[in-house]
Amino acid sequence: MQSEQFVHNIRRKRVMSTDGKIIGQIKNISFDAATGQLQRLVIRPDPSFDTTGFRVENESITIPFEAVKDITDFIVVDRYMLH
């Protein structure tokens, strides 16, 4: 399956905002089982990342997949879509 390969490729990648701040590392990805559409990234925040304004659950924060702007060595997310 294509989505499984995609998930495998981005697991454990680090996440950075468009303004260059390291957010953390991918812990998990949630998706709609019926459509296969990716919904949210579950991220283990970097110790230097300020999680104020985020809901922290099980030492993780979530970011909507729509915030993803680029995937290379890092997953780059739009800083304006983080909250």
What's the mean pLDDT when you consider all of the chain? 86
Render pLDDT for 29-39 as a digit per residue (tens, 0 to 9): 888 889 988 89
What predicted TM-score, i.e. pTM, was given to this entire model?
Answer: 0.80
**Taking residues 55-79, what's their average pLDDT?**
91
Distance CA 25, CA 30 (A): 15
Give the end-to-end CA distance of the chain in Å, rounded to a whole number. 31
pLDDT confidence bin for 1, thresholds 50/70/90: very low
**Taking residues 51-78, what's their average pLDDT?**
91
64 contacts: CB under 8 Å, gap ≥ 6:
39, 40, 81
